[in-house]
Amino acid sequence: MQQSEIGMIGLGTMGRNLVLNIGDKGFSAAGYDKDFNKLQLLEKEAGERKITAAKSLEEFFSMLKKPRAFIMLVPAGSAVDAIIEEALPYMEKGDIIIDGGNSHFTDTDRRIKDLEGRNIHFMGLGISGGEQGARLGPSMMPGGDKEAYSRLKNVFEALSAKVDGEACVGYMGHGSAGHYVKMVHNGIEYALIQLISESYHLLKTLGLNNDSLADIFEQWNNQELRSFLIEITAGIFRKDEEAEMAGKNKNRRRLIDLIMDRARQKGTGKWTSQDAMNLQVPVPTIDAAVMMRDLSADRDMRIKCSSILKGPSPEYNGNKEEFTRRLKNALYFAMITSYSQGLALLKKASESYGYETDLRKVASIWRGGCIIRASVLNDMLSAFAKAPDLSNLISDANFSGILNSHQSDIRFIAGSAISMGIPVPALLASLSYFDSYRSRWLPANLVQAQRDYFGAHTYERMDKKGIFHTEWLKE
């Protein structure tokens, strides 16, 4: 009794895989779930590892070494509060609760505050990497009480993915910083997925079959676009439908062509856009990605409008190889702007919420284990190492150079998409983000004039200091 270094409540796929990972690294762990089948499954898979499945919460807490620390991996929302409520009677001063789910950062702040009075540390821990990541090494984004983090540092470091010998985990900052960083990770994830899907749409218009699409993504994955999402995309195009689903049909079709074109979401991308709006940080590529999930889901209306609204029929008559080469550069351009938007949001959030997040550390831990891992993050890490206060990566010498040199490609691709009538809102948002930031002058003077005209909202002047109002109708 009281042997286990760490506990896990919630033994769904993620929780169970993470406990097995803990066991692989030589730590002792206790697991608990209300579902008896999940406990049995853990017991079966635990093998020689120092893992025990507890039959009750009481037993679970009696197994944990003091001061106790446990991770919970349960659906975000009321389930987290319910577990805290049930766990409290067994907990003592100095114990640590770690929420490893995708909780909204404001819930995490509330929980930290509620538990502070009882001297119990509450830590928001972003975990990325899906099932495989949990099992073999995820990217981990813990935040909250620094002392609690120090006590768990060695466990986190052992569990996490490694890149060049560096653990993909680090202290993300005070309060809800860990969950905030994970939320922004997911916002970038939405943007990258949408950009890749738009590229797929364009490539499909060239008449390429799934094998050719897979070949292209495989090639791209060997170049500057090298990333987890590009890699899995190649695999997706090669996947045949399951034999049992194909039934008598001997020619198994590619699964991708059978999947309904209606995207779902759990909300983390939307939260990123919402908080970016609150903090007044532009993240247009992420916004476009969230919008397109909603629009794709409005499938009935799309089907109805497909025979009402008219436009060009997509067809590309130019050089397909050149188009593909330029698309690769356009995608790279847009991916850079997506990370830039997310990291600029993190900088502002860190200042506004007092997180003290180190963006160098964020870029570093996103290099391995997580869904948005990509080789370009190595260069982002170097940019923040050179200039820790960098507000936006697009002003870094290396990245501004890439954006400047690839802009003609994204203009060409955007122009082609527009003339073919193919929706590419995330690519367009990325280009407009670039064009807006490179504009010394924007037509916002007219916005101000109109606001002052109809609502006396005042304006500033270029030639004089102060706040001005004009009686616009007065001669």
Query: Which residues contribute to the site for ligand 6PG (CB under 6 A)?
Result: 102, 128-130, 186, 189, 265-266, 268-269, 370-371
Q: Which is nearer to ligand 6PG, 75 or 312 (CB)?
A: 75
Nearest 5°: CA angle at 54, between 50 and 58? 130
Q: Which is nearer to ligand 6PG, 130 or 314 (CB)?
A: 130
Q: Which is nearer to ligand 6PG, 39 or 365 (CB)?
A: 365
Least CB distance to ligand 6PG at residue 100 (A)? 10
Least CB distance to ligand 6PG at residue 238 (A)? 22
Q: Which is nearer to ligand 6PG, 183 or 417 (CB)?
A: 183
Least CB distance to ligand 6PG at residue 33 (A)? 20
Q: Which is nearer to ligand 6PG, 214 or 290 (CB)?
A: 290
Q: Which is nearer to ligand 6PG, 370 or 417 (CB)?
A: 370
Least CB distance to ligand 6PG at residue 450 (A)? 37
Helix H, strand E, coil C: the string for the chain is CCCECEEEECCCHHHHHHHHHHHHCCCCEEEECCCHHHHHHHHHHHCCCCEEECCCHHHHHHHECCCCEEEECCCCCHHHHHHHHHHHHHCCCCCEEEECCCCCHHHHHHHHHHHHCCCCEEEEEEEECHHHHHHHCCEEEEECCHHHHHHHHHHHHHHCCEECCEECECCCCCCCHHHHHHHHHHHHHHHHHHHHHHHHHHHHHCCCCHHHHHHHHHHHCCCCCCEHHHHHHHHHHHCECCHHHHCCCCCCCEHHHHCCCCCCCCCHHHHHHHHHHHHCCCCHHHHHHHHHHHHHHCHHHHHHHCCCCCCCCCCCCCCHHHHHHHHHHHHHHHHHHHHHHHHHHHHHHHHHHCCCCCHHHHHHHCCCCCCCCECHHHHHHHHHHHCCCCCCHHHCHHHHHHHHHHHHHHHHHHHHHHHHCCCCHHHHHHHHHHHHHCCCCCCHHHHHHHHHHHHCCCECCCCCCCCECCCCCCC
Query: Which positions are catalytic?
Result: 182, 189
Least CB distance to ligand 6PG at residue 189 (A)? 5
Question: Which whole-number Å values give the CA distances from 4 to 22, 52, 95, 109, in the listed order?
Answer: 11, 8, 14, 28
Q: Which is nearer to ligand 6PG, 112 or 134 (CB)?
A: 134
Least CB distance to ligand 6PG at residue 370 (A)? 6
Residue 53 CA to residue 147 CA, distance in Å, equals: 28
Q: Which is nearer to ligand 6PG, 62 or 265 (CB)?
A: 265
Strand 166-167 and strand 96-99: the pairing is unpaired
Q: Which of 417, 455, 242, 235 is nearest to 326 (CA)?
A: 417
CB-count burial class (<10 Å; 0-12, 13-18, 19+) for 315 = exposed
Residue 452 CA to residue 434 CA, distance in Å, equals: 29
Q: Which is nearer to ligand 6PG, 129 or 178 (CB)?
A: 129
Residue closest to ligand 6PG, measured at CB: 128
Least CB distance to ligand 6PG at residue 408 (A)? 33
